[in-house]
Structure 1
Amino acid sequence: MNFFEAIIIAIIEGLTEYLPISSTAHMGFTAALMGLPESEFLKMFQVSIQFGAILSIVVLYWKKFFDLKNFNIGFYIKLACAVLPALVLGKLLDDKIEAVLGNQIAISSMLVFGGIILLFVDKWFKNPKINDEKDISIKTAVTIGFWQCLAMMPGTSRSAASIIGGMTQGLSRKAAAEFSFFLAVPTMLAVTVYSVFVKTWGETTANPMKGYEMIFQDQEHIILFLIGNVVAFIVALIAVKSFISVLTKYGFKFWGWYRIIIGIVLLVYFSYNPTETQNENNKVSIETTTQQ
Structure 2
Amino acid sequence: MNDYLLSVLLGVVEGLTEFLPVSSTAHLRISEALLHIPIGVQACSVAGDPAACMQNVAYWKMYTIVIQLGAILALCLLFMGRIIEFIRTFPKGESGNRTIWNHPISLTLIAFAFTSGPALLLKKLISKNLENLQTIAWALLIGGIVMWVVDAYTVRYEAGIADVEEMSLWQGIWVGLCQTTSAVFPGTSRSMSTIAAGQIVGLTRSAALEFSFLLSIPTMIAATGWDMWKEVLHPSHAEAGELFTPLVMTKERWIVLLIGMLVSFVVALGVVEWFLQWVRRHGLVLFALYRIALAILLLTIGKSLLGSS
Alignment of 1:48-197 (within 5 A): 48-67=66-85, 70-73=88-91, 74-125=103-154, 126-128=156-158, 129-151=160-182, 152-197=184-229
- Greater relative contact order (Cα < 8 A, sep 6+): 1
Give the conservation status (yes or no) of the 8 Å contact 2:135–2:185.
no
Larger Rg: 2
Secondary structure in 1 aligned to 2:63? Answer: helix
Alignment of 1:14-53 (within 5 A): 14-38=15-39, 39-53=57-71
Give the conservation status (yes or no) of the 8 Å contact 1:111–1:259.
yes
* Alpha-carbon displacement from aligned partner over 1:12-69 (angstroms, at most 9, x marks no partner): 1111111111111111010001111242111111111111111111111101223488
Q: Which moved more, 1:233-242 or 1:252-261?
A: 233-242
Aligned partner (choices 225, 228, 237) of residue 269 of structure 2: 237
Q: Which residue identity does 1:208 align to in structure 2?
A: P
Output the aligned Cα RMSD.
Answer: 1.9
Identical columns (%): 31
Give the structure 2 partner of residue 277 of structure 1: 307
Question: Counterparts of 1:184 and 1:166 in 2: how far apart (Å)?
Answer: 14
Q: Any gaps of 5 or more consecutive residues in structure 2?
A: 40-56, 92-102
* Alpha-carbon displacement from aligned partner over 1:187-219 (angstroms, at most 9, x marks no partner): 01111111111353474333224xxxx4xx322
Question: Counterparts of 2:84 and 2:68 in 1: how far apart (Å)?
Answer: 20
Question: Counterparts of 1:150 and 1:195 in 2: how far apart (Å)?
Answer: 19
Aligned partner (choices 245, 252, 267) of residue 299 of structure 2: 267
Give the conservation status (yes or no) of the 8 Å contact 2:137–2:295.
yes
Question: Counterparts of 1:144 and 1:206 in 2: how far apart (Å)?
Answer: 38
The TM-score, its normalising length taken from structure 1, stands at 0.87
Give the conservation status (yes or no) of the 8 Å contact 2:150–2:200.
no
Question: Counterparts of 1:110 and 1:60 in 2: how far apart (Å)?
Answer: 29
Q: Which moved more, 1:104-113 or 1:81-90?
A: 104-113
Question: Counterparts of 1:77 and 1:135 in 2: how far apart (Å)?
Answer: 13
Q: Which residue identity does 2:80 align to in structure 1?
A: W
Question: Counterparts of 1:19 and 1:244 in 2: how far apart (Å)?
Answer: 10
Q: Which residue identity does 1:59 align to in structure 2?
A: L
Q: 1:104 to 1:68 in 2, by over 3 A?
A: closer
